[in-house]
Chain A
Amino acid sequence: MTGRRALLVASAAAAAALAAAVPSLGLPQYYISLLTQTWIFGIAAMSLDLLVGFTGLVSFAQAAFFGTSAYMIAVLATQYHLVAFWPALGIALGTTAALAALFGLLALRGEGVTFIIITLALNEIVWGLAYQWVSVSGGDNGIAGFIRPPVFGLDLSGTAAFYRFTLAALLVCLALLAAIVRSPFGLVLRGVRDRPRRMAALGYAVQAFRYAAFVIAAVFTGVAGVLFAYYNEFVGPVNLSLDTAVQVLIMVILGGVGTLLGPLAGAAVVVFVSNALSNLTQRWELILGAIYVAILLFARDGLVGIGHRVMRVLGAAARGAGPAARPVMSPPPGGRGEP
């Protein structure tokens, strides 16, 4: 077991080193900026996975938190001339946390579908605000005219520098989220996801734990929003629209719910495939939709589940055990069993 863990740590370190080296490999800037988007949306997808996969809450309000953080960066820079990175980050995340604290109180009055619909409605309110409060948000025109500030004295204006910065942010968020998921608190969240009523009978205030997870996930999504504002150097209503909320949710489902790394892979697929398809055809959203439907029909456990199955078939073939075409039907370990 320890050998396997060492292998895992080594391959993770190798993957991170490889990712950090990408800008030096002579790739076109276009691909580096797509990877930057992947890291940013990966943070948003992983934090939504904390809710969907580990707490059992499907939220459509993530775009509101993503967009609020992004707008805060833009508003602070253009209207208050606050451009220094750390104070702006602190204010943006603080605002997002306060918004999530309020939204959590409202949305967690309901459970299941009610919760989902309330988060959807709250997201629409924030979108409407951004669209119509023109004096602050610029309305449909959004806000431009701010640039990336230096961080730790590093100039982030270049594509490669900003790419490495977002990668570092992704790794920090991944480490923190993994620690949360593995902590006793994370164990309680999984219990709440599996059997909320049982957790109440064991003495846990179920709604308080859901509330905490909701606010934590919002703050991590806020980090993604801040990075996106700096990446794009522009924010608009689309950044907190329902489209964005759905897209992040698709990343989570596509990658594999409750796996953290799966949603990161899901983010990569959505970012790259949507860009590749939109270069080829105007009807790219139609094709993307068909891909999502296919995944939901044939691989409900997402990319991570497909990976598990491929590994198992390869393992069986390597051992020469029986016909290689033997179907593997059982769910992956740790999958969600029937109640």
Chain B
Amino acid sequence: MTAALLDVTEVHTYYGDSHVLRGVSLAAAAGAVTALLGRNGMGKTTLIRSVIGFTPPRRGTVRVRGEEVQRLSSHEIARRGVGLVPQGRRIFPSLTVEEQLRIASRPGGAWSLDGVYDLFPRLRERRRHFGGQLSGGEQQMLAIGRALMTNPAVLLMDEPSEGLAPLVVRGLRDTIARLRDTGLAVLLVEQNLPLALDVADTCYILSRGRVVHHGPAADLARDERIRALHLGV
């Protein structure tokens, strides 16, 4: 197994006095999809926020390509190779598609405007449209394309399938697989269990701020007992 591009060790994160993450450790390797599962409110999004620095952990370490980043501010963490596809997509409503991709551009890697347009030909057709005029699926493409334009090593995806039609989710699955094949370390937070089990290599299950299960996705797909216990399905 290759060395992990993202390495989270014994992270404790609080919202005020509320102790949300209680010693979470996980790793995401290059060229692999690591799924983070769990019921609502178990700390999945908080983990994403801890990695990107929106809610820095109070204890524990976050390493990106071996370098500790948990004391850095968000923009410094992003510059060290962390891309984020946020929950709810959060595109810029009053910038055009092309402006949003250009604004994100950090040259020095494989991804460029043309590369993103080749991945999502639909965005090329819509490049002069404003973010607010896009459909949910197009917004998701834009959110992914925007993160890719920063040429990240680690891609954090927070509930990318949320609110998308089944056909669009299938396209999303293929996109995630293609990104994995380019060598990205993908950390995927998902409520859509079939999607996660289908595309992920490794799964972590969070419950009440702790990792309660960790193993290959194929094992979890077979193990009905663990799924029932921690995911309620």
Contact of A198 among B79, B86, B106 (CB under 8 A): B86
- Interface of B toward A, CB cutoff 8 Å: 52, 54, 73-75, 78-79, 84, 86, 90, 92-95, 99-100, 102-104, 106, 130-132, 146, 150
Question: Given that A187-B102, A203-B75 are contacting pairs, would A198 and B92 also be in contact in the complex, using a CB cutoff of 8 Å?
Answer: yes
Q: Number of A-B pairs whose CB atoms are under 8 Å?
A: 70
* CB nearest neighbor in B for A191: B103
- Find out whether the CB atom of A200 lies under 8 angstroms from the CB atom of B92: no
Which residues of chain B are within 8 angstroms of A198 by Cβ–Cβ distance? 86, 90, 92
- Find out whether the CB atom of A205 lies under 8 angstroms from the CB atom of B75: yes
Determine the interface band of chain A, counting residues with CB < 8 A from chain B.
20 to 34
* CB nearest neighbor in A for B149: A202
- Find out whether the CB atom of A334 lies under 8 angstroms from the CB atom of B150: no
Report if A233 contacts B (CB, 8 A). Answer: no
Question: Given that A191-B103, A200-B74 are contacting pairs, would A338 and B93 also be in contact in the complex, using a CB cutoff of 8 Å?
Answer: yes
Contact of A336 among B78, B90, B94 (CB under 8 A): B94
Which residues of chain B are within 8 angstroms of A187 by Cβ–Cβ distance? 95, 99, 102-103
1/0 contact trace for A163-205 toward B, CB 8 Å? 0000000000000000000001001101100110111111111
- Find out whether the CB atom of A333 lies under 8 angstroms from the CB atom of B75: no
Report if A335 contacts B (CB, 8 A). Answer: yes
Report if A206 contacts B (CB, 8 A). Answer: yes
CA distance A71 to B150 in the complex (A): 47
- Min CB distance B75 to A, Å, is 5
Report if A28 contacts B (CB, 8 A). Answer: no
- Find out whether the CB atom of B131 lies under 8 angstroms from the CB atom of A203: no
- Find out whether the CB atom of B54 lies under 8 angstroms from the CB atom of A197: yes
**What are 9 A-B interface contacts by the 8 Å CB criterion?**
A187-B102, A187-B103, A190-B99, A200-B74, A201-B74, A203-B106, A204-B75, A333-B130, A334-B130
- Min CB distance B98 to A, Å, is 10
Question: Given that A198-B86, A201-B52 are contacting pairs, would A335 and B94 also be in contact in the complex, using a CB cutoff of 8 Å?
Answer: yes
Which residues of chain A are within 8 angstroms of B150 by Cβ–Cβ distance? 202-203
Which residues of chain A are within 8 angstroms of B73 by Cβ–Cβ distance? 200, 205
* CB nearest neighbor in A for B106: A203
| Best-surrounded residue of A190, A191, A194, A202 (most CB of chain B within 10 A) | A202
Within 8 A of B (CB), among A313-337: 333-337
Report if A158 contacts B (CB, 8 A). Answer: no
CA distance A202 to B90 in the complex (A): 12
CA distance A157 to B146 in the complex (A): 55
